[in-house]
Chains A and B, each alone.
Chain A
Amino acid sequence: MTVVDSPPPASPAAIDAVPLRHPWRWVAAVVIIVLLGLFLYGVATNPSYRWSVFFEYLFNDRILMGVSNTLQLTVYSMVLAIVLGVILAVMRLSANPVFRSVSWVYLWIFRGTPIYVQLTFWGLIPTIYSKIQLGVPFGPSFFQLDLQALSIPFLLATLGLALNEAAYMAEIIRAGISSVPEGQLEASTALGMSWGMAMRRTVLPQAMRVIIPPTGNEVISMLKTTSLVTAVPYTLDLYSIATREIAAREFEPVPLLLVAAAWYLAVTSLLMVGQFYLERYYSRGASRKLTTKQLEALAKAQTTQLGEPHV
């Protein structure tokens, strides 16, 4: 075997040019820094902000409990909403006309009425349906649940948020599914997959790339929508505790609003980090760029090829 090892042609010197100047960037930066400095100075020195109260309550036990309750409301209702949203989206796209109509009517009602009204309505469920009975219609009942005797505002709040959100998630998921080229379903079908398997193994994983960014939006939006559960009424979420319970007691609305805002902001930032990693996972195969693993394998192959002639 011969090694083609001719010396590389003399390459031209790298260009050493004066970089283009951007004076307006500097001007804009200076103006903004000055304005921001003035604002921060005002915030720090204005006594109305009551920073001492802010720091006193930032890690208060009741506030932390509120954060935990708000997080639980967000997570449970989002998980329920996504599961229900997938079902509704698949129903909407299925060939079964009954499923299609049911899904359409669901979306019509839950997107067509305000979330605040829906939550109030959920709060009234124990009044409207005081008992849940399981049995033969107009016949004997086997099981009976007294709703009024239960204290279930958290459950009702979660359901209220989830059922409303499911309607929006259904549309996001439907858009994601529709964004996958028809040929993908066709190729899966031609390989003998059933419609359900093709959805699960081929279409939905590809739809995820389109579904995740708006879903991240929805999660963040849900975190803040939980402040409406006071309509149920559920009063142990972050917003209710900070602004109604503590602020009303201490007559300090401004610092406690800031406490609530700081926590919402902190949790949102965490969620954004999670979204980043999810997006990266589901974008695999979307780019022609080689992954680190593939680059390593190629480099290795190159060195073994170069090493061969000496053997």
Chain B
Amino acid sequence: MTPMVKAEQVCKSFGALQVLKGITLEVDKGQVLVMVGPSGSGKSTFLRCINHLEQVNAGRLYVDGDLIGYRDRGTKLHEMSPRDAAKQRRDIGMVFQHFNLFPHRTALENIIEAPIHVKRVNKDDAIARGKDLLNQVGLLEKADAYPAQLSGGQAQRVAIARALAMNPKLMLFDEPTSALDPELVGEVLEVMKKLASEGMTMVVVTHEMGFAREVANQLVFMDGGVVVENGPPREVLANPKEERTKAFLSKVL
């Protein structure tokens, strides 16, 4: 079976600054990968490379067997046109730390925006599906509310529903609970747990070790742009092998 995400020696630099120094990992279909590590370690950059918000400088990154960002024409790679890149992203949902909901649209309008205008889904079907998704994240009564009227937890759940509306085969979460008040973290993690139990393939950057232990199939600890440790979460959390992992975990646990 082709893995959903396959990274081979992925490198990314911003000018002289090398942020990713050869990331190699795989995520199988239906699996949940959680990435942890100190800030600046490159977790978010790696996540953004997966849906080509950042272009990889070296190495190869595949989603469901497709090379991301480039066309492989035998001897040489060709930069992908914006149109083809947009097509690749349609199947990859992304949830941001600061939600990035569209403030001028209601919760429901946020969700149906991309299906209608990108996928050209019939409007009535999109609304029906949108309401169904809102119901799944427990916010059907907030369909007509604008993002500014939602709490952080509600906004993030709407953002998850918005990503799901495109029927993605892979969901990326970039610190989805880091901007939330502590008492609102649980409701967002609940939705993510449910999603994982339904078999969604997920890559999650987070500081929620409890979530990692409970939901993840694979835990990656990153530091300084490299994967320091990679394994089943209980093992990595309970018996870290590397000094750097031990030092980090002692601070967050």
Contacts and interface: CB of A to CB of B under 8 A. Distances in A.
B148 A286 contact: yes
A190 B87 CA distance: 10
Interface string B80-93: 00110011011011
Contacts of B94: 187, 190
Interface in A273-311: 282, 284-288, 290, 293-294, 297, 301
B73 interface: no
Nearest to A198: B86
Provide the main secondary structure of the chain A interface.
helix
Contact of A191 (B105, B118, B141, B146): B118
Interface in B94-148: 94, 96, 98, 100-106, 113-114, 117-119, 141, 144-148
B37 to A, nearest CB: 22
B149 interface: yes
A280 to B, nearest CB: 13
Given A186-B96, A187-B96, 6 more contacts: A187-B94, A191-B113, A192-B86, A193-B117, A284-B146, A285-B146
B51 interface: yes
Interface in A176-225: 181, 183-184, 186-187, 189-195, 197, 201-202, 205-206
B146 A201 contact: no
B118 A284 contact: no
Contacts of B105: 285
Contact of B100 (A184, A195, A197): A184
A184 B105 CA distance: 12
Contacts of A288: 148-149
B43 to A, nearest CB: 17
B166 interface: yes
A192 B148 contact: no
B148 A191 contact: no
19 contacts: A184-B102, A186-B100, A187-B96, A187-B101, A191-B89, A192-B89, A192-B166, A193-B114, A194-B83, A194-B86, A205-B104, A285-B106, A286-B103, A286-B104, A286-B148, A287-B148, A288-B149, A290-B149, A294-B145
A192 B146 contact: no
Given A183-B96, A193-B118, A201-B113, A285 B144 contact: no
Contacts of B92: 190
**For the side of the interface on A, what is the size category?**
20 to 34
Contacts of A186: 53, 96, 100
Which residue, of B94, B96, B102, has the highest number of chain A Cβ atoms within 10 A? B102
Contacts of A184: 100, 102
A246 to B, nearest CB: 49
A191 B171 CA distance: 11
A284 B148 CA distance: 10
B162 interface: yes
Contacts of B163: 190-191
B102 A190 contact: no
A190 B89 contact: yes
A284 B145 CA distance: 11
B96 A189 contact: no
A139 to B, nearest CB: 36
Nearest to A192: B90
B149 to A, nearest CB: 5
A301 B146 CA distance: 18
B141 to A, nearest CB: 8
Nearest to A282: B104
Given A187-B102, A190-B53, A285-B146, A201 B117 contact: yes
Contacts of B90: 191-192
Contacts of B101: 187
B87 A192 contact: yes
A205 B163 CA distance: 21
Interface in B18-55: 51, 53
A182 B214 CA distance: 34
A282 B103 CA distance: 11
B100 A284 contact: no
Interface in B141-160: 141, 144-149
Nearest to A298: B141
